Amino acid sequence: MDAEEIHHILVQRFGDAIASATLDAATPFAVVAAHRLLDVASFLRHDHALAFDNLMCLSGVDYPKETPPRLEVVYHLFSHFHFQTFALKVHLPRENPSVASVESLWGVANWHEREAWDLFGIVFTGHSDLRRILLPDDWQGHPLRKDWQDPDYYNGMHVKPTAQMMDRVLQGERIGVGPFDFTPPNRDLEPS
């Protein structure tokens, strides 16, 4: 089954909930109305003709310059049975973005949705444990939004590079310590 057939099945079954599609992309996708995402995803997962049994990736994307500004969630699906891919996209408002969790369909969504919440602020309703996964629990904000500004301080520590540090780096000076700076050379592997 090709992307056009998948799209046709989705439009027949869900009508206006399938807002648009791009089928000639490397990974063909359909844009789904947020309030119908769980229905569409469940159909793609459980219908034998489609059998998208694997959520390969779930990503957040920020489009602050679009009209209207929006966030997007992209679901990359794979069918082991049919050996094919298809993606779903959901457009959400930047203010209070929320969409149903697909964790009940694909367990791996637990981690993906937590990451999208942590970094973009997208709320996945019905998620079993929606909490930060990469940043500390007391972190304020969502740093992959394009309007994000690094804080000057976190827990009383200065974390933003100063102008003097940036000047020194731009002049070629190494600032800070990398993991290999203190690693002694392996004399057994060095040429004599």
- Segments making up each domain of the chain, as ranges: 3-136
What digits encode the pLDDT tens for the residues 78-94?
999 999 999 999 999 99
Which amino acid does the sequence have at 143? P
CATH number of 3-136: 3.30.460.80
Rounded Cα–Cα distance for residues 159 and 152 (Å): 6
Helices (H), 33-178: 37-46, 109-120, 163-170
Q: What is the pLDDT of residue 166?
A: 78
Contacts of 95 (CB under 8 A, 6+ apart): none
The amino acid sitting at 176 is: G
The yes-or-no verdict on residue 167 having pLDDT over 90 is no
Closest CA to 2 of 64, 74, 57, 50: 50
* Residue 151: per-residue pLDDT: 85
114, 130 Cβ separation under 8 angstroms: yes
pLDDT at residue 56 is higher than 80: yes
| 3-state SS string for 135-151 | CCCCCCCCCCCCCCCCC
Confidence of residue 161 (pLDDT cuts 50, 70, 90): confident
Return the SS3 of 54.
Answer: strand
